Structure 1
Amino acid sequence: MWSIFATEMIAPESIQQVINRSDIVEVIGQFLKLRKRGTNYIGNCPFHNEKTPSFNVNPAKGIFKCFGCGKGGDVVSFVEEYEKFSFVEAIRWLANYYQIELSETEAPAEYKAQQQVEESLRIVNEFATDYFQKILLQNEEGQLIGGSYFCERGFRQNIIEQFRLGYSLDKWDAFVNEAISKGYSQELLEKAGLIKVRDGRPYDNYKGRVIFPIFSATGRVLGFGARILKKNDHAPKYVNSPENELYVKNKVLYGLYQSRQSIS
């Protein structure tokens, strides 16, 4: 939904060539002013308003990290985030910048269908992550219940922001109503595990739970883990996203993305 999907598939070796050729300092320097500090570079983060630079670029590791808002990733994910591109669009932009000719073949129908489902899941997961964190930080129930839970366990504000933690209201349809009002289909929400349907009626799967987004190694939200806060003998303590085209549980290690973003 709301995306343009490629009819051609970029050869893996071409993608790797683009990534190997791309200089993260040079590329990010096209969008914002950087200055050298030691072996790294710093600047004002383009993803949130700040007066004191907290945006760091580590050329040795090929990654960027903002210690203010928590955004981080590699050169491809920076272009994706800054330009609001898909992965393929970011690769094409970098290839054009470095004048690299991409090797492409017509994508089979199965690949295009898979790509569309994966991209739709990424979009709805990103929406849900922002929604749950906004509830945690700005909603009275979120602050009192979810915020208290994290505070009692020593979660500092920067950790909450870095891991994009959240809270789902203790209501049956708060999230599903908001998501559907934004144009997300019930089918997609159910596939992502964000809602369930009983007797034809959708309801929030993470009702009254604190939310832990699960990230890919490049910072994409693949799914969620959610812990119930009220004692309920009829509900599981933890609920995780179901496996789907985007999320395969045994291929993901929680916290890997954040640990890789640490810049020495």
Structure 2
Amino acid sequence: MSDGALFLLGWGLAALALLLAWAWQQRTHDASAVDAVWAAVMGALALLHAALGSGDGARRLALALLGGAWAARLALHLLRDRVLGKPEDGRYRRLRAWFGARAGLGFFAYFQAQALAAAVFALPFLAVAQSPGRPPAAALAAAVALWALAVTGESLADRQLAAWRADPAQRGRSCRAGLWRYSRHPNYFCEWLHWFTYPLLAWGGPGVWLALLGPALMLATLLGVTGIPHTERQALASRGEDYRAYQRETSRFVPWFPRSTPRRDA
């Protein structure tokens, strides 16, 4: 299947999945599930591209295993953390209030924008799946090692944050346990690191430059769009001076040693 046809097929399937999620949102008046659905769609696109791509079988098998497992873990985490038994996420409550009487149409457009984003974020999967020739053994080994490091780190950060939140003694305080001592967003850092898996899987093929779009897009999203800016606004609103102190002491993104002498964050 050609690159263009595979991209359009993936976009169409993402649009259908997000249409069903939008219909559920219309019934429940809770849009929080969109994040978990998006992660599940990404896993489905990894499997789709691996199955229908025309590239090397070893590359496609690695894509199916690594991309599918990453997305499954993320989708299940988001489902437990933000959806099951939880009120609607603050982002979506604010969007619902902003849309007002046009909330149905507004969320339809938002959910379909997420479908397009999924298709674009899946371009690194497409690059891997269409790359001919066996990948260099060193690149394949590096991809697996990096994936394991990133996904393990993200999972660990998620568990550490959940344990901190479950401790009544830490209520109102910013998490400084484990990886959170070295970065204010270690889960986001590990998520970004994970996206370098796909350029490594595409190494030696003509699509390696397209695969680099993954980490570039994820970095831009985390630093400037829906990741860190939203999370830090929420933290400042709920934890105030404690979070401001945490900002002064702790690296914003890349893990580093805490500052012994607080200074303005760069």
TM range, normalised to the smaller chain?
0.3 to 0.5
Tell me the TM-score normalized by structure 2: 0.36
Q: Which has the higher contact order (CA 8 A, sep 6+)?
A: 2
More helix by share: 2
